[in-house]
Chains A and B, each alone.
Chain A
């Protein structure tokens, strides 16, 4: 009955929430319709310009540096630009801002200085019609759309948290209920014991039950307990011992703290920066390379400049001190390994050996890097180039193996010397 009522309550409440959200969002939606109607009316009214054409041009050429709102980006926000400057000035500026600055135009020079002398590219191909269309688009642009988006987000968040609250409430209620039951049960047992103690007509067995006391010492000293503990102790110690011995020389799971809290999850995962952008040697040489600070600076001269972690890069450059990254994969010196051989000729993905690196906050060694691990892969992996019949480089190799009755698609790394000791140890 309770859950039935609870379900009803939830239903009623979610209905209520939906109604509230709808009531709140409705005026915004209506406003948007109004603005589109307005914009259409505007573009229809002035036959010299096309808001749609302006939008297209703006998004393709201007948006990376300018917002159509009053929020500045690389360049100023353009809302109300037609009120600030004359149309002829704007046309001259867009077509060639440097020319205007060099001609000594005061407005142009002031603007250039204000934005750190960052030159705006010349758009000499833009006709007067193009520029007027862009201006019309900026004028017609209503930030209502942005507000609406924000509104949507909050409503989504709102319902999500409401659902979570219901669940928490339910769980909390159940815990309180169980605690109450526990208290009631304890009270009942105590009452019963007290009542039974007053009863004179109890036999011996019943008396024993009523007067029972829990003797911890006796339990600990019992043979059964000591045997169980002994066996458990032996098992735990042997497991720990065997683990330690088996792990000698294996560093899988090693995830050292780095001097800068660099996250591969953020860079390679969320921002989709290619591994080779920073690890410049991975397709070219033996080592994948740790990027020098100038590679960090390609993005971080702009992005997250005030973050204390990024400040460490700036400090390293200023003091001409290397950043002391801790090497994670320590392949023993007695073995040779070459990245390019595996990534270019072998066509392996980084994840093949490094695990899901794009999901790691802190880099952890995933593969054991033991000889058995290397050899297993060499035994199973097909030579990609040889399997590809169109690759003429492997013609002689295919012919040589055909004599032994080995098909091109079956030539594995072990067949081309992948198990030779001296391939890796010399």
Chain B
């Protein structure tokens, strides 16, 4: 064999071996017919198994207009002792312009205790802290860039009640956009309890500011009064979690 040939072969091999993996290449699959789902699956690659029926080749379909998410139809919360709290149905169907109505009529169906507030804190850190900051002062890393984020711990905002905060999480307010599609109603009520702590309205075990520890039992809010949950006149009730408003 001529030495020239050997040089070329060596150069070629080294060149090919040093290329490494193309980041866009998934590589060779041993049994693709076992790896790729034959039925249509949500969140799977379109190129694998293009859907010929739905628009845009999507495997998921948009729910029919006006569909109510099952989680909002009837929600109950069971605490550690096994006590069940009925979260009702209609209270979540508030219209985005009904903040005053929500403030007056929506009552937190969850008890203000250590367990709920701790859960609320985890959820607050997940959904709110990026803007409102760890102390609720509106100085989160994103909040500084977004500007105009409310300080939950001072001024008028620190006085808002649960119904108001629930409505703001659901529909947004001012510069804040609705978070109904991300945060379920139960989680929203848990966040409300923790926001009350940041507002200084209660401490982390649910004792209201200015109240003695003995009165804790009374401070807990009972089930919402059905009488109050009627649709106010002139307000068009639309489910905030229906597909219509979710896409806003």
Q: Is A294 located at the chain interface by the 8 A CB criterion? A: yes
Residues of A within 8 A of B155 (CB): 60-61, 121, 123, 125
The answer to whether residues A240 and B16 also contact, given A60-B154, A64-B138, A272-B130 and a CB cut-off of 8 A, is: yes
The reply to whether A334 and B142 form a contact with Cβ atoms under 8 Å apart is no
Q: Is B227 located at the chain interface by the 8 A CB criterion? A: no
The reply to whether B175 and A74 form a contact with Cβ atoms under 8 Å apart is yes
Interface string of A388-417 (1 = CB under 8 A from B): 000000000000000000000000000000
The reply to whether A271 and B130 form a contact with Cβ atoms under 8 Å apart is yes
The reply to whether A273 and B30 form a contact with Cβ atoms under 8 Å apart is no
Interface string of A267-311 (1 = CB under 8 A from B): 000111110110010000001011010110111011100000000
Q: Is A145 located at the chain interface by the 8 A CB criterion? A: no
A334 to B10, CA, bound (A): 41
Interface string of B170-194 (1 = CB under 8 A from A): 0000110101011000000000000
Residues of B within 8 A of A255 (CB): 23-24
List residues 189-248 of chain A with CB under 8 A from any CB of chain B.
Answer: 217, 220-221, 226, 229, 232-233, 236-237, 239-240, 244, 247-248
List residues 28-69 of chain B with CB under 8 A from any CB of chain A.
Answer: 28-31, 34-38, 41-46, 56, 58
The reply to whether A253 and B142 form a contact with Cβ atoms under 8 Å apart is no
Q: Is B6 located at the chain interface by the 8 A CB criterion? A: yes
Please give the distance in Å from A37's CB to the nearest CB on chain B: 30
Please give the distance in Å from A252's CB to the nearest CB on chain B: 9
Q: Is B145 located at the chain interface by the 8 A CB criterion? A: yes
Interface string of A318-346 (1 = CB under 8 A from B): 00011010110010111000000000000
Interface string of B100-130 (1 = CB under 8 A from A): 0000000000000000000000000111011
Q: Is B230 located at the chain interface by the 8 A CB criterion? A: no
Interface centre among A64, A280, A303, A362 (most CB of B within 10 A): A64
Q: Is B151 located at the chain interface by the 8 A CB criterion? A: yes
Please give the distance in Å from B9's CB to the nearest CB on chain A: 7
- Given A64-B143, A273-B141, A322-B56; 19 other pairs, CB 8 A cutoff: A61-B151, A64-B151, A221-B3, A226-B6, A249-B27, A249-B31, A249-B35, A251-B27, A270-B141, A273-B130, A274-B126, A292-B181, A294-B177, A294-B247, A299-B146, A301-B177, A302-B147, A303-B145, A330-B35
Interface string of A105-138 (1 = CB under 8 A from B): 0000000000000110111110000000000000
A253 to B168, CA, bound (A): 42
A240 to B20, CA, bound (A): 10
A353 to B234, CA, bound (A): 52
Interface residue from A121, A226, A326, A334 paired with B34 (Cβ < 8 Å): A334
The reply to whether B21 and A253 form a contact with Cβ atoms under 8 Å apart is yes
A233 to B129, CA, bound (A): 58
Q: Is A166 located at the chain interface by the 8 A CB criterion? A: no
Residues of A within 8 A of B27 (CB): 247-251, 254
Q: Is B225 located at the chain interface by the 8 A CB criterion? A: no
The reply to whether B43 and A294 form a contact with Cβ atoms under 8 Å apart is no
A295 to B246, CA, bound (A): 10
The reply to whether A237 and B149 form a contact with Cβ atoms under 8 Å apart is no
The reply to whether B42 and A287 form a contact with Cβ atoms under 8 Å apart is yes
The answer to whether residues A73 and B147 also contact, given A244-B28, A271-B141 and a CB cut-off of 8 A, is: yes
Q: Is B221 located at the chain interface by the 8 A CB criterion? A: no
Chain B interface residue count: which class?
35 or more
Residues of B within 8 A of A250 (CB): 27
Please give the distance in Å from B61's CB to the nearest CB on chain A: 12
Please give the distance in Å from A306's CB to the nearest CB on chain B: 14
Q: Is A260 located at the chain interface by the 8 A CB criterion? A: no
Q: Is B78 located at the chain interface by the 8 A CB criterion? A: no
The reply to whether A256 and B23 form a contact with Cβ atoms under 8 Å apart is yes
> What are 24 of the A-B contact pairs (CB < 8 Å)?
A60-B151, A60-B154, A60-B155, A61-B154, A64-B148, A74-B147, A75-B148, A118-B175, A121-B150, A229-B6, A240-B16, A250-B27, A271-B145, A272-B129, A273-B130, A274-B125, A277-B130, A287-B43, A294-B181, A295-B181, A303-B146, A324-B46, A333-B35, A334-B34
Residues of A within 8 A of B130 (CB): 271-274, 277
The reply to whether A125 and B156 form a contact with Cβ atoms under 8 Å apart is yes
The reply to whether B150 and A64 form a contact with Cβ atoms under 8 Å apart is yes
Residues of A within 8 A of B34 (CB): 332-334
The reply to whether A233 and B181 form a contact with Cβ atoms under 8 Å apart is no
A301 to B176, CA, bound (A): 10
Q: Is B157 located at the chain interface by the 8 A CB criterion? A: yes
A294 to B178, CA, bound (A): 9
Residues of A within 8 A of B6 (CB): 226, 229, 233
